[in-house]
Amino acid sequence: FIYPKLSLAISYNIFATLCVSLIISDYRHNLLPESITLSLILSGVVFSLSSANPTTLHDLIKGGVVSVVFALITSLPMLIFRKTSPMATGDFLFIAGIGVWIGENKLYQFGVLTVCFAVTTGVIMRSRTIPLGIALGLAAIICTLIPETILHY
């Protein structure tokens, strides 16, 4: 009976380690390396195939796609009016990886937490550009700690 709990703990530790490494990289270099973000996506797909996964593969794939589509839609006005993208490719890959890991059910909570952390990061850093990876990583780690039973209202 301990094997599913142990494999779930190992999986979430891998997720948290990848998120923390992306947070540190974005803070220090304002860059989210593709090797780490793609590892996050791939490990999320592998996790979705494991027996320890509490959600379905369909939900996790849908979470990755919906999260990226939502990020593209929200960045569209700035792309149209300012002719620059507010997010880089690494941000989109990080969002996709998080969506694959947390699934569709937790995307709303993830979005709200990300906005709160992004505003807080902007206030603390006091710069025109903020490293979005910090807010994404912190929100993702917190969303994985929230049990599924809290999310059903």
Mind listing the pLDDT tens digit for each residue in 119-135?
998 899 887 778 899 99
Residue 4 pLDDT: 62
Encoding tokens for residue 95?
Answer: 């969002």
Helix or strand run (H / E) with residue 81? helix 57-82
Of 30, 40, 18, nearest to 96 (Cα)? 40
pTM for this predicted structure: 0.88
Considering Cα of 64, then 54, then 14, then 125, what sign does the dihedral take?
A: positive
The model's confidence at residue 150, banded by pLDDT at 50, 70 and 90, is low
The model's confidence at residue 58, banded by pLDDT at 50, 70 and 90, is confident
CB neighbours (10 Å) of residue 68? Answer: 19
Q: What is the per-residue pLDDT across 2-50, written as a single tens digit (0 to 9) for each?
A: 556 788 888 889 999 999 999 999 999 999 999 999 999 999 988 888 7
Yes or no: say if 22 and 32 are a contact pair by the CB < 8 Å rule: yes
